[in-house]
Amino acid sequence: MKRVLLTGISGTGKSTAIAELAARGYKAVDADSDAFSEWVEYINDPSDAGEIGSPVEPDRDWVWREDRLRQLLATEDAEVLFVSGCAPNMGEFLPQFDHVVLLSAPADVIAERLRTRTNNAYGKHPDEAARVLDQLKTVEPLLRRAAGHEIVTTGGLDDIVATLIRLTESQK
C-alpha cells in the first residue's frame, strides 16, 4: 500500500483535497479531525517555537493521537492511503509515508480562505488568522524541507487531485 501525506498550514486546501479524494473512492483520512487528533497540555516551553511552531493556545496544542495514527498506517486495506494534516508531532510519522506533499498558497489566498471557510472555524478569529499567516514564514519552510513534492493550490481542485493521483501511479 502507498501512503501519501498531504500537509501544509491552515487554509492551503488539505481538508478540501482529502474530501475530494474520498468522494472519488480513495481511502482518505483527515488526521486533523477529532478521531485522529486531540488537545494536549503543551509540555515544552511555549516560548520555544519548536519543530512546527508555537502552540495553538498558550498552554495547549492540537496534536495527532499517535496510537491511532500508527494503527491507521499499519492497516493494509487499500492500494493507496491519503492522509491530510499538520501537527507538532507528525515528524516521527514521516518515514512511514511514501510521499509527503506540501500544499501551499499565497498569503492573500490563505487569508481569504480562512475568512470564508465553512468546514472549520479555526482561522476566523483575528489572532488565529495572524498565527496562520505567521506560519508562512516559520512553519511552511520546515514543511517544505520535509516534503518531496509541493502543489500550489491556487488552481482548480480537479487539477490538484489529478496531480496527487498521478503521483501515486508514477512509481508502481
Query: What CATH number should be reported for the domain holding residue 110?
Result: 3.40.50.300
Query: What residue spans of the chain are helical by DSSP H?
Result: 14-23, 66-74, 107-116, 126-138, 140-146, 157-169
Q: Which of 76, 59, 3, 65 is nearest to 38 (CA)?
A: 65
Percentage above 70 pLDDT, the chain: 88
Bridge partners, residue 99, by sequence: 4
> Could you tell me the three cell numbers for 124?
476566523
Q: What is the pLDDT of residues 122-159, one digit of tens each?
A: 888 888 888 899 999 999 999 999 999 999 999 999 99
Alpha carbon distance 163, 21 (integer Å)? 11
pTM: 0.89
Higher pLDDT, residue 22 or 122: 22
Residue 48: the pLDDT is: 43
Predicted pLDDT at 126: 86
pLDDT of residue 136: 94
Alpha carbon distance 80, 27 (integer Å): 7
How many domains does the chain fold into? 1
Residue 49 clears pLDDT 80, i.e. is over it: no
Which pLDDT does position 81 carry in this prediction?
Answer: 98
Per the structure, the complete domain to which residue 103 belongs is given by: 2-169
Is residue 151 within 8 Å of 163, Cβ to Cβ? yes
Q: What is the pLDDT of residue 119?
A: 81
The type of residue at 152 is V
Identify the pLDDT of residue 123: 82
Contacts of 158 (CB under 8 A, 6+ apart): none
